Amino acid sequence: MKNKRRSKARSAHSVSLLLGLGLLVGSAFASAQSITIGGANFSEQTILANIYASALKKEGIEVKTRLNLGNRQIIAKALENGDIDVVPEYIGSLLSFYDDKSALTSQKEIVSVLQQKLPAGLQLLEPSAAGSITAWAVTQKTAEKYNLQTLSDLAPVSGELTLGGPPEVTTAALGLPGLKAVYGINFKSVKSLDMGGPLSRLALNSGAIDVATVVSTQGILAKEPWVVLEDDKHQQPLQNITPLGRKALLTPEVTKVLNEVSAKLTDDDLKQLNRLVDIDHKDPAKVAAQWVAENTVKAAN
């Protein structure tokens, strides 16, 4: 009798475990079908995050977006905590974030080292041909006054000038520390603004700052008569735009869709998309959806 009771108890316990496992598997499957796309606080990131979201939605995958999250420190923490699952990244800056002493310049080397440096739960997908680099712009008046064409030209007069940029420009290896190390640039003062956005635009045009930190593919550069200073010593590494995500959520279907986006995205696309949003004031989500529709991003069944 006792053995029968024990056997029944074991059976009940086994059923309970199996049911519990079934619920866990079901829950994991459901969460794998719901992806949160994150993005930093400038329009190109908003566009790219919406492209990822639109492409995934086209395949019937449930998607949420969390945009304007702030700098890379905030985004990295959000990824590691599971607050977001995928973000469009820039490989050169990403490597600099995880290894601020890296001087690699080739895409193959950067990606290879990144795969080793990334936290265990994160994975880099296929890089796109499109890439944006951090750049520095001045007005034509300032360029003519100081005869500025390159960052080397800027170095001797930088002590007279004020820089504007995102908060992290003072500490990021590819920001002021890199400018100082490579060019000997040391500004009189720095104002915390944004990355070539409306705050920087207003400040540069009004003379509140002399140099603005911008993104090389920003649409505003096609409109404003600014001079983007040439990085003549190649301080900035390659910045191919690449999806970075949490391994647990990167199912084969999700990976396929995001890699197809990378395969189709070009510099010309990026400049056009930025222009539509920054200059023509189009809705980033609609602009992104149109790009996806025209490029027929579709995962294999």
Same domain, 138 and 122: no
User: Has residue 3 been placed in a domain?
Assistant: no
Task: Specify the higher pLDDT residue, 204 or 108.
Answer: 204
Residue 237's Cβ-side half-sphere holds a number of Cα atoms within 13 Å equal to 25
Same domain, 125 and 32: yes
Token pair, residue 153, equals: 């030209």
Within the chain, where are the H helices?
A: 2-32, 43-58, 72-81, 91-98, 107-117, 140-146, 151-154, 176-183, 198-206, 220-223, 252-264, 267-278, 284-295
Residues 6 or more apart whose CB falls under 8 angstroms from that of 271 comprise 217, 219, 222
Same domain, 108 and 161: no
**pTM for the whole structure:** 0.72
Q: Give mean pLDDT, residues 223-245.
A: 93
Same domain, 111 and 246: yes
Q: Give mean pLDDT, residues 261-272.
A: 93
Q: How does 73-87 read in b/e, with b if 16+ C-beta sit within 10 Å?
A: eebbebbeeeebbbb
Same domain, 61 and 204: no
Task: Specify the higher pLDDT residue, 164 or 15.
Answer: 164
pLDDT at 301 exceeding the cut of 80 = no
User: Has residue 39 been placed in a domain?
Assistant: yes
Same domain, 216 and 140: yes
Question: What integer pLDDT is reported at residue 296 of this predicted model?
Answer: 67
Q: Give mean pLDDT, residues 162-172.
A: 94
User: Has residue 21 been placed in a domain?
Assistant: no
Question: What integer pLDDT is reported at residue 297 of this predicted model?
Answer: 54
Question: What integer pLDDT is reported at residue 290 of this predicted model?
Answer: 97
Same domain, 125 and 244: yes
pLDDT at 121 exceeding the cut of 50 = yes
Give the CATH number of the domain where residue 123 resides.
3.40.190.10
Give the CATH number of the domain where residue 204 resides.
3.40.190.120
Same domain, 117 and 33: yes
Same domain, 113 and 75: yes
State pLDDT tens for residues 67-99: 999 889 999 999 999 999 999 999 998 998 999
Same domain, 165 and 245: no
Domain interval for residue 181: 134-228
Same domain, 194 and 251: no
Confidence of residue 30 (pLDDT cuts 50, 70, 90): very low
C-alpha separations of 81 from 84, 102, 122, 150, 245 in Å: 8, 26, 11, 41, 12
Helix (H, G, I), strand (E, B) or coil at 130: coil
Confidence of residue 7 (pLDDT cuts 50, 70, 90): very low
User: Has residue 10 been placed in a domain?
Assistant: no
Q: Give mean pLDDT, residues 145-161.
A: 98
Total domains in the fold of the chain: 2
Rounded Cα distance between 66 and 183, Å, is 37
Cβ atoms < 10 Å from Cβ of 150: 13
